[in-house]
Structure 1
C-alpha cells in the first residue's frame, strides 16, 4: 500500500472521530444583516440547520466610538425569533451588530453584520395619501411614516421632519397616460398639492415618486379614484347664448336710459296763438322756435279776454320785417299799450325809427 493512498477503513475511522469531536458544538447563525426603514432598525439572521429547536440568541451592537452593548430591547438579550429591533439615535453615525446562539449551556461564536448608516441606508416607506375632490379639482395631502424619534410633546416625528431633504413628485395618470405632475415639497392641510381640470366620469390614479433619493431606497404608493359624472345633457351652448343676448339687451336699455336722462334733447318753445301774426312770416324767419311749454299760455303771456290788439291801419302799413317782441318789463295792472292789456309783460315793436326812439 502506498503512502499516498488511504484505505477506506482509515477514512471511516477519521469520519467517526470528527463527528465525535463536533458533537455538542453549536454553529453560529448565518446571513446576518442590519436593515433600516423609516429609521427603525432590525437585525435579521438565519439559524444553522444543526441548531436545536430550543436554542435562543444573544444580540449586541456598537458604533465607531463605543464598545459592544447588549440589546436590551430583545427581551433580556435572549430571543427565540430570528429578528431583533434595535434603536440607533445618531442617524449620521455608523453601527454594527452581532448575534450568537445559546443552547444547553453552550454558546456559539459571534456572527457579525455589515455596517449601517441610517441617513445613507434607511429605506423610506410608502406614504399615505388623503385627498379632497371638489369642482373637478383634486387636492392631495401626503402623510409620511413615523420614525422612532420623539418630539418634545411626546409624539413621534414623521420621516420628512428627520430627513429634511425628502419631498415627492405626484404623478396623475389617466389609465396608463401621464397627464399631470406636480411637486409636493411641503404638503399640509393648509397648502395641499392640487390637480386641476379633471374630467367627469374618469378614472385617475395618483402615484408618488420620492425626489433626490435612489429608487431602491424608497417605497412608492398608488391610489385611484373615479370622478363623479357631470350634469347629464346640460345645454351649455344654449345657456351661453341666452346669457349673451341678455347682456346685449341690458346694454341697449342702459344706452337708452343714458340718452333720455343724462343727455336729454332741448325742449320746444311754443308761442300762444294770440302772439302769432296772421300774416305769414318771411322766409328768413320761418326757422322753428323751441317750445318751452305746452297747452295754454302762461299767465304772464295771456291777453285780457275783453281787450283786443289794436287793428292795423291800412293807411300806414307795417314796415317789412317788423316784429313784435315781448318785453320782460312788467307794466302796471290796468295800463294800456295800444289798447292791449298785459298781466306781466309789454309787447313792443322790434324796430322803431330813430325819431320815435329819441322821443321816448
Structure 2
C-alpha cells in the first residue's frame, strides 16, 4: 500500500509542478518605471516580446512599511497606468514600489518590479502658470504653483515644498531669439531689470 501511495503522491506533485510551469511560460516585462509630476503619478512598462492580441498586464503596488502587495489592475492592455488616486499620500509617506506581470489566458509571467522606490524625490516639479507685467524698466513676475484637482485640500505645493523652492528664469527678447537674462529666484514673486530694452519678451 505504501509504495502505491508514494507513486500517487509523486504523480500528483508532478502534475502540480507541470501546471505551475505552464503558468509562467510568458516572458516578464523588460522594465517598469514611474514618470510623475505633482499629483500626477503614472506607471509605465515595456511590452513583452511577441505579445498576442489577448496579452494584458496586471499591476500591484506596495506601500513601504506595510509589507503587503495590493492588486491594482487585473488586466490592462495599455502600457501605462495612472496610480495617482492610490498614491495620494506619496508626499507624506515613505514611498512605494510597483510591479507588473504579463497575462495571456492561463499563462502568466513572473513579476517585474520597479528598480527604485517611488518617493517625493522622483517627482518632476513644474509651474502652473506665470503672470508678467512691465513697470519702470522692470519685468514683474508672479509664478503660480501647480494646483492639481487630485491633490487633497491641505496638500498644496507650498506646504509640501515649504523650504528651498527655487525657480530658474530666462528672458528672451523677440524677434531675434536673444536671451539676455538668466537667473534663479527663490520666491514666487520676482522682478528682473530689462536693461533699457523695449519690445516683446518671452519668459
TM-score (norm 1): 0.42
Check conservation: 1:34, 1:116, Cα contact below 8 A.
Answer: no
Distance 1:37 1:180 in 2: 24
- Candidates 161, 164, 187, aligned match of 1:163: 161
Q: Which residue is equivalent to 2:60?
A: 60
1:197-216 pair list within 5 angstroms: 199=196, 201-206=198-203
Q: Is the partner of 1:81 in helix, strand or coil? A: coil
Q: Partners in 1 of 2:136 and 2:107 — Cα distance?
A: 70
Shift of 1:58: 0.9
Secondary structure at 1:164 match in 2? coil
Question: What pairs up with 1:104-143 in 2 under 5 angstroms?
Answer: 104-143=105-144
When Rg is computed on C-alpha atoms for both structures, the one with the higher figure is 1
Higher relative contact order (CA 8 A, sep 6+): 2
1:54 to 1:194, Cα distance in 2 relative to 1, 3 A: same
CA distance, structure 2, for counterparts of residue 104 and residue 177 of structure 1: 58
Aligned partners of 2:168 and 2:45: how far apart in 1?
36
Q: State the alpha-carbon separation in 1 of the partners of residues 181 and 126 from structure 2.
A: 26
Structure 2 gap ranges (5+): 1-20
After superposition, the Cα gap between the structure-2 partners of 1:25 and 1:96, relative to the gap in structure 1 and judged at 3 Å, is same
In structure 2, the CA distance between the partners of 1:100 and 1:158, relative to structure 1 (3 Å rule), is same
CA contact 1:172–1:181 (8 Å) conserved in 2: no
Native 8 Å contact 2:127 2:144 kept in 1: no
| Distance (whole Å) between structure 1 residues aligned to residue 193 and residue 48 of structure 2 | 57
Query: TM-score when scaled to structure 2?
Result: 0.69
In structure 1, the residue matched to 2:185 is 183
Count of paired positions:
172
* Residues 52-95 of structure 1, C-alpha deviations (whole Å, 9 max, x = no match): 12211110011232200111xx4xx3211000121321334132
**What's the secondary structure of 2:159's corresponding residue?**
helix
Report the alpha carbon displacement of residue 125 of structure 1 after superposing the two structures with TM: 2.5
Q: Which structure shows the higher strand fraction?
A: 2
CA distance in 2, matches of 1:180, 1:32: 37
In 2, the alpha carbon distance for the partners of 1:199 and 1:172 equals 14
In structure 1, distance between residues paired with 2:45 and 2:143: 34
CA shift digits 1:97-144 (9 cap, x unpaired): 111112223222211112324222211124421112344432211122
Asked whether the 8 Å contact 1:27–1:51 carries over to 2, the reply is no
Q: Which runs of 5+ in 1 are unaligned?
A: 1-20, 207-360
**Distance 1:25-1:197 versus aligned 2 partners, 3 A rule:** closer
* 1:97 partnered with 2:94: no
The CA deviation string for residues 283-312 of structure 1, in whole angstroms up to 9 with x for no partner, is xxxxxxxxxxxxxxxxxxxxxxxxxxxxxx
Distance (whole Å) between structure 2 residues aligned to residue 27 and residue 132 of structure 1: 57
1:173 CA displacement: 4.8
